[in-house]
Chains A and B, each alone.
Chain A
Amino acid sequence: MECWRKDIELSSVVVQCRSLVSVLEGCLGPCGKAVLLEKAGCVIITKDGMELLSHLEVCDPLVSIVVRGVLDHTRVLGDGCKATLFLLHRLLSSLDTHVPQNSGTMQGIRRQRLIQIVQQIRNHVLGVVQRDVIKYGAQVYPLNSFEVFSHLLHNSAEDFFITKFSKLIARNLARLFSTYISCVCSSSRELVKLIKDLAIKAHTAVVEIYHMPLMMSHVLHGFVVTRNFRYLHRGMKFNKVCCAWWSMNLEEEEEEGLPRATIETSLREILVGGILIKRNSVERSLAHLSSLGTELVFSSLHFPDWAVSLCAKYGISLLDSVDGDERDFLAERLGVLPIMEERDVHPGVLRSIDKIEPLNLGTCRFMQLSGLGVHQILLCGPTPAQCRQFSACFLQFFRYLSSWVADCVDFSQSSDIYTCDAAAAAGCRDSFSPPFSPDELPRCELSPVLTEAHSSAPTSPTTVAMFFTVPHGGYGELLAKYLVSENISVNIKNTIIKSVVLDVFNELPSLLYRKSQFSQKSYVEFQTKLFSNFTELRNNNQVMLSHMLKDNRFRGYHNPFLLFKLLNCVLHLAEYLLRIECIVPAKQRISQRTRHCSSDSESE
């Protein structure tokens, strides 16, 4: 009558994570290589961790929890799918090696020990290290200077895209992005709002165009409807077009089993009349529309040929089968009321569009509407699959930016920054020296809002003024490692916890360096040099720990909060996994034993 159960060994979890890591390891970072994935005859070539992971079919329940957790988290943050998985694997394997398994103690005791370590890291180490990495390592820029902000975004866009595509493509995509923001926004406030909006509806910003080289992509003033005219009336003017939105049903809906009114007749006229009911009502509406001066009809429905010919009869151009998202956008922007039935046709449903023109690119024939006050990125791609990858990447990038900006705002408003001593605050100010030359951009002075921010109360809304970045290439991780190993930000007495934390911080830089053909030895040398440089700078009482070495320098702009967000998720997931003691199959039968009761003979 024992219940069947399978205890979960930590080492087997590590092995399973290892196999996932080995799949993704190749495509980490700018030097990573793409992976070709074949699934049911369909080939996917990608470097994107999220796409790869979501296509892998994982059977093991524990690993599938890991995969789903990582994917869900990345979907919100927009980046860091592979990094999360690597960090989780490193954390678990480091815990497995550092906490020895005694044959004498119970499995549960070891688990408790591990859970405590994870909790301690999450509660006592993470927050402090994040604050100090930003205090010592982050460059701070005023968020309210639009030039600086957009320059930063351009660079980080390039760095972001380079981890997904080749260098040339990345440069193009980044250029597109910065053109787009410079077209749409003129101030930082607008830009922040734009980034927040884009994170949920990226489709308003990107239009995919197939069978064209990426070089041809550009930013367009206007809104693109990804349909061609179904019927274009000869001599229609393209300026000040008077249009209406058609939503009246054209197809007879045939539903199985539902009875309907039937005409039973043998008279020819009635029969013909019955067939033409729908047509007549459509014709009446169109005639009415035409008399009101309508030149163009939009519809998200498909117009059958007879309806098209009716449009032709009344000289109304037609644009049908419009995509749902585009319909929603237009309905909101134009405030147009759809025509649902015959009595809806009145002058109130008509709207005027400034200009409408056909847009012929590659094999795509689209319509471009002007005067709606929007810009769109026309994203070209040689094949539909590639084009979709580009636009998916844009969506991820918007998410990434949105969470970055939100974190910066949160951090500036939180009291954390004020608990840093005055020197740190000064450090923030000192650190503000743009790494690009002054000729490139007008020199940005500290705005009054920013200087005010240091003195005023933390709750005032005007403190939203700072943007924090760290360079790429594992600088944040290495700095965090340094801060922990030298006991600067937090003094971890427990050697096991300390070595686990150091292992985890070491994971990403070491992988990145292995990618760029550094040997293990040179990596260690580099690290020692960097750390001694840090120490030197600290001895000279410089608060800001520079990211420059003589011959080697970290470049780029990266979200400093991302690492800690990922670690937070990793620690949550790890704790969750460690708490699982055993696998019990559901619906197993705990039934009567089949043993025969033979013991009664003794009692008798």
Chain B
Amino acid sequence: MTAESVLSIQGKRSSGTPVRTENVIAASSVANIVKSSLGPVGLDKMIVDDVGDVTVTNDGATILKLLEVEHPAARVLVELAQLQDEEVGDGTTSVVIIAAELLKVADELVKQKIHPTSIIAGYKLACKEACRYIQNNLTMNTDELGRDCIVAAAKTSMSSKVISIDSDFFANMVVDAAMAVRTSDGKGGYKYPIKAVNILKAHGRSATESAIINGYALNCTVASHAMTKKITNAKIACLDFSLNKEKMKLGIQVLVNDPAKLEAIRQREADITKERIEKILKAGANVILTTGGIDDLCLKYFVEAGAMAVRRCKKSDLKRIAKATGATFLTTLCNLEGEESFEPTYLGEAAEVTQERVCDDELILIKGTSARTASSLILRGPNDFYCDEMERSLHDALCVVKRVLESSSIVCGGGSVEAALSVYLESFATSLSSREQLAIGAFAQSLLVIPNTLAVNAAKDATDLVPKLRAYHHSSQIKTEHSQLKYYGLDLIEGQVRDNKKAGVFEPTLSKLKQLKFATEAAITILRIDDMIKLEQEPSKESGYQQALKSGQLG
């Protein structure tokens, strides 16, 4: 093993054990940041940036995203958290903690002169075996347990968040919202596109005054007071351009020598938009939503036609509305022939579009959408930060509900799965005669970090609780009459071991499987590194002007 040596290019190279150790330290420092927010009794972090903007959150992915992590190995963990967030939406903190722990024990093994490739092979084998064991032994089918278990899974996801105290209220709300957007995937199953659940935030009032609304709520009002505020059998046009008076584009100069022609040009400018509006109205549209502006002149045409026009909608909202109502989101009226036209097929349909006063705000509600159903959640909280954190928590919970509904399989939470896996993998390791045995043992050991951290965060005696939990799982795996003990997990409020199936602490199976796979892969990626070359930019000491002055280019 050689030490660092100066290369002929500017930079440093280091290889061997120091690199690995350094990577492991970087990874654990990232894990340490998020560690204390794990579990139902984890606390929040307040992140303040240089201009004083504040984010208060408990979500691992959000915390790590806001920190600027520069170390390459630590970056892998940050990306890992983001990946888990995108794929599952929940369990971001756990995945980082597991990955860091895997690295830590691997580093110990390497110090005992075990080659990293053996460890990597052992980790791969252990991960595969663990996933197989979860799927065969630990999962439960939600169809047998009914809606209660879905609500319970949502509650488990919220338990670590700021809304934990009202989790009964919000869990039911989330499940209702997810159920409302159910669509068939064409193969007999259902999909739950949770993006169709629109979350609006309004501050003031307490959190329990949040409400769920059937239909799509849009945080805008009609463009003119003279417009009608309620339309039944709405035909909706979604546009992505402004309906303002057309202006000549840059680079055109028209020279005329008759003032009447000048006036004609102006008239024509106004008429272009008018014709567009007439085309849209002629197609039967009575609700026009646009991302751009509509000027007063054009508003008049809509008022006269008795239509409802809403300007400055958010693009993401309109895209979703277009999907829900079956409308086409148009960026231009031009067709392939280069002429402007508006087909009635571009229109979406809804039973009713109204402007209503919900809570203290006027909102536009689109009810009875034809293509898909939609639902909206209106969140109330004492301030913006609280609402933001509520939104993040509800998003996680919605993801969990979606995963549970789509896969209809859940496992017990509260460290139950990890404890069971660690017991199982240890006995599996002893059955192997190859050198992977040690690595699998280490893998089993490192999974215990989840129950340990949970217990430590809850200020309970981890050295007392975790062995007790392992003993339960051991007996469930060797004695068939004790097989029900496999659902045992930690009760962090009372500091006991309890049956988490009865207590209703559930997590989606998918979340656990992905956690294990992602964490193992990230750990392997970092373990494989044994050489690091860092290039340093040559610092330019003088500015271009001074260089030029020196070389005599300037007189």
Q: Which residues of A contact B (CB under 8 A)?
A: 1-3, 5, 8, 59, 61-62, 64-65, 68-69, 72-73, 75-77, 105-106, 108-109, 111-112, 119, 122-123, 199-200, 247, 255, 257-265, 267, 270, 273-274, 276-277, 281, 328, 331-332, 335, 337-338, 340-341, 344, 565, 568-569, 572-573, 575-576, 579-593, 596-597, 599-601, 603-604
Question: Which of A3, A341, A584 has the largest number of chain B CB atoms within 10 A?
Answer: A584
Show 14 A/B contacts (Cβ-Cβ < 8 Å), sorted by A. Answer: A73-B203, A105-B459, A200-B362, A263-B255, A263-B256, A338-B300, A572-B382, A580-B43, A581-B36, A584-B46, A586-B48, A596-B4, A603-B1, A603-B16
Are B205 and A277 in contact (CB-based, < 8 A)? no
Chain B residues near A579: list those with CB within 8 A: 43-44, 56, 58, 162
Chain B residues near A76: list those with CB within 8 A: 203-205, 360
B45 within 8 A of A: yes
Q: How large is the interface on B (under 10, 10 to 19, 20 to 34, 35 or more residues)?
A: 35 or more
From B16, B67, B265, give the contact of A584 (CB < 8 A). B67
Are B257 and A262 in contact (CB-based, < 8 A)? no
From B54, B248, B262, B360, give the contact of A259 (CB < 8 A). B248
B74 within 8 A of A: yes
Interface residues of B in 375-410 (CB under 8 A from A): 381-386
Mask of B301-328 contacts with A, CB within 8 angstroms, 1/0: 0011000000000000000000000000
- Shortest CB-to-CB span from B262 to chain A, Å, is 5
Q: 3 tightest CB-CB pairs across the interface, nearest first?
A: A76-B204, A581-B43, A109-B459
Complex Cα gap A517–B463 (Å) = 59
Are B162 and A69 in contact (CB-based, < 8 A)? no
- Shortest CB-to-CB span from B81 to chain A, Å, is 14
Complex Cα gap A200–B358 (Å) = 12
Are B50 and A587 in contact (CB-based, < 8 A)? yes
Complex Cα gap A596–B248 (Å) = 65
Are B205 and A600 in contact (CB-based, < 8 A)? no
B225 within 8 A of A: yes
Are A200 and B56 in contact (CB-based, < 8 A)? no
Complex Cα gap A568–B30 (Å) = 36
- Shortest CB-to-CB span from B345 to chain A, Å, is 31
Known pairs A73-B204, A590-B26 / 20 extra A-B pairs, C-beta < 8 Å: A1-B25, A2-B29, A3-B33, A65-B56, A68-B384, A69-B386, A200-B357, A261-B248, A270-B259, A274-B262, A277-B262, A332-B225, A573-B382, A579-B56, A580-B44, A581-B44, A584-B33, A589-B68, A590-B68, A592-B70
| A273 with B256, Cβ < 8 A, contacts A1-B26, A258-B248, A332-B226 known | no
Residue in A closest to B253 when the chains form the complex, CB atoms: A259
From A5, A75, A335, A590, give the contact of B70 (CB < 8 A). A590
From B203, B255, B258, give the contact of A270 (CB < 8 A). B258
B242 within 8 A of A: no
B336 within 8 A of A: no
Complex Cα gap A600–B256 (Å) = 84
Chain B residues near A601: list those with CB within 8 A: 3
Complex Cα gap A258–B248 (Å) = 8
Chain B residues near A580: list those with CB within 8 A: 43-46, 56
Complex Cα gap A591–B68 (Å) = 9
Chain A residues near B45: list those with CB within 8 A: 580-584
- Shortest CB-to-CB span from B490 to chain A, Å, is 15
From A1, A112, A340, give the contact of B71 (CB < 8 A). A1
Chain B residues near A247: list those with CB within 8 A: 296-297
From B1, B22, B55, give the contact of A600 (CB < 8 A). B1
Question: Which of B1, B56, B224, B250 has the largest number of chain A CB atoms within 10 A?
Answer: B56
B32 within 8 A of A: yes
Mask of B51-71 contacts with A, CB within 8 angstroms, 1/0: 010111010000100111111
Complex Cα gap A65–B382 (Å) = 10
- Shortest CB-to-CB span from B311 to chain A, Å, is 16
Chain B residues near A568: list those with CB within 8 A: 206
Residue in A closest to B40 when the chains form the complex, CB atoms: A112
Residue in B closest to A68 when the chains form the complex, CB atoms: B383
- Shortest CB-to-CB span from B74 to chain A, Å, is 6
| A600 with B262, Cβ < 8 A, contacts A338-B296, A576-B162 known | no
Are B36 and A108 in contact (CB-based, < 8 A)? yes
Residue in B closest to A579 when the chains form the complex, CB atoms: B44
Chain B residues near A589: list those with CB within 8 A: 68-70
Are A262 and B4 in contact (CB-based, < 8 A)? no
From A3, A72, A112, A281, give the contact of B383 (CB < 8 A). A72
| A108 with B383, Cβ < 8 A, contacts A76-B360, A263-B256, A600-B1 known | no
- Shortest CB-to-CB span from B278 to chain A, Å, is 14
Chain B residues near A587: list those with CB within 8 A: 49-50, 66-68
Complex Cα gap A105–B458 (Å) = 12
From B206, B265, B362, B457, give the contact of A261 (CB < 8 A). B265
- Shortest CB-to-CB span from B486 to chain A, Å, is 29
| A600 with B259, Cβ < 8 A, contacts A340-B297, A573-B382, A580-B45 known | no
Complex Cα gap A122–B29 (Å) = 37
Question: Which of A257, A572, A588 has the largest number of chain B CB atoms within 10 A?
Answer: A572
From A59, A108, A583, A600, give the contact of B459 (CB < 8 A). A108
B207 within 8 A of A: yes
| A597 with B296, Cβ < 8 A, contacts A73-B382, A265-B257, A572-B381 known | no
Residue in B closest to A118 when the chains form the complex, CB atoms: B165
Question: Which of B69, B270, B458 has the largest number of chain A CB atoms within 10 A?
Answer: B69
Are B257 and A270 in contact (CB-based, < 8 A)? yes
Chain A residues near B32: list those with CB within 8 A: 3
From B63, B66, B225, give the contact of A331 (CB < 8 A). B225
Residue in B closest to A570 when the chains form the complex, CB atoms: B382
Are B63 and A584 in contact (CB-based, < 8 A)? yes
Residue in A closest to B265 when the chains form the complex, CB atoms: A261
Complex Cα gap A331–B226 (Å) = 7
Residue in B closest to A64 when the chains form the complex, CB atoms: B54
Chain A residues near B384: list those with CB within 8 A: 68, 72
Chain A residues near B385: list those with CB within 8 A: 65, 68, 576
B502 within 8 A of A: no
- Shortest CB-to-CB span from A396 to chain B, Å, is 13
Complex Cα gap A259–B253 (Å) = 6
B251 within 8 A of A: yes
- Shortest CB-to-CB span from A461 to chain B, Å, is 18
| A585 with B257, Cβ < 8 A, contacts A1-B25, A331-B226, A575-B165 known | no
Chain B residues near A337: list those with CB within 8 A: 226, 300, 303-304
Complex Cα gap A589–B71 (Å) = 8
Are B382 and A69 in contact (CB-based, < 8 A)? yes
Chain A residues near B382: list those with CB within 8 A: 69, 72-73, 569, 572-573, 576
From B37, B165, B250, B251, give the contact of A119 (CB < 8 A). B165
Residue in A closest to B75 when the chains form the complex, CB atoms: A590
B481 within 8 A of A: no
Chain B residues near A267: list those with CB within 8 A: 257
- Shortest CB-to-CB span from A329 to chain B, Å, is 8
Chain A residues near B383: list those with CB within 8 A: 65, 68-69, 72-73, 573
Chain B residues near A59: list those with CB within 8 A: 52
- Shortest CB-to-CB span from B98 to chain A, Å, is 19
Residue in B closest to A586 when the chains form the complex, CB atoms: B49
B292 within 8 A of A: no
Complex Cα gap A7–B437 (Å) = 42
Complex Cα gap A575–B206 (Å) = 12
Residue in A closest to B56 when the chains form the complex, CB atoms: A580
Interface residues of B in 473-512 (CB under 8 A from A): none
Chain B residues near A265: list those with CB within 8 A: 257
- Shortest CB-to-CB span from B112 to chain A, Å, is 14
- Shortest CB-to-CB span from B154 to chain A, Å, is 19
Chain B residues near A8: list those with CB within 8 A: 46
Complex Cα gap A68–B44 (Å) = 19
Residue in A closest to B389 when the chains form the complex, CB atoms: A576
Are A61 and B48 in contact (CB-based, < 8 A)? yes
Are B206 and A586 in contact (CB-based, < 8 A)? no
B434 within 8 A of A: no
Mask of B359-385 contacts with A, CB within 8 angstroms, 1/0: 010100000000000000000011111
